Structure 1
């Protein structure tokens, strides 16, 4: 029985690695575009910092949504939850650490869900840091 626990935890670590890769890819691409805009279209960024901020935040929500879908797909394919709609709802509630508790995993899978919550906490912290980096650049260093 311990082998199954370790196997499930290994899967959870793999999912965390995958979500970090998704986030890192989006971060790298987004920051690359932002740097090019600073070089080529600085006037736009200075004139429309709110528009830029909204676009950046919406952009950073995309990999978070992909992360949630990745976890939901795992729950569905592993049959930890009966259908994809429940899996997506459970994953969203768990990744955001809201944890309503109206849908729960069985004993065999519940430890995996704690890793998703930690994963969400890390990803949201990372996304928040990226949001603040751009906001500071736009609003406090725009006159450099």
Structure 2
């Protein structure tokens, strides 16, 4: 059991690294746009918001695939399609329950759910930070 929990912690570390990498790169681009193309951000805040949100969904999808790959390689689920579906439902904490892991792997799935909860909270915070910058930051000369 400890071995499986160690694997779960490793997967959490991997997904945090994925998120941190994407978010750091995305925020770097956003900061550059604020300095060099402020007019673009002011003119198209909705488009920038849509692009930012889609961008933040990409690493979440990668995180889900990481967990699914683990379930498949560990033979916790019979095929990759089921592993991907189970991982998506678990990571998003929807938890339909139509596909379940065997007794040996159930505890690992709870770690994935907690992982998803943390990642979604983090992504939501960054979405709001960018939205605040786009819609609520005053520019010089604005009243």
Q: TM-score, normalised by structure 1?
A: 0.96
Give structure 2 stretches of 5+ with no counterpart: none
Are residues 1:85 and 2:85 paired?
no
TM-superposition CA deviations, 1:54-88 (whole Å, max 9, x none):
00000000000000000000000000000000000
CA deviations over 1:14-44 (Å, ceiling 9, x no partner): 0000000000000000000000000010000
1:121 has 2:117 as partner: yes
5+ residue gaps, structure 1: none
- In 2, Cα distance between equivalents of 1:133 and 1:88: 30
Moved over 6 A (4+): none
Aligned residues: 140
Structure 2 residue corresponding to 1:11, chosen from 7, 15, 36: 7
Task: Say yes or no: does 1:139 pair with 2:135.
Answer: yes
Q: RMSD of the TM alignment (CA)?
A: 0.6
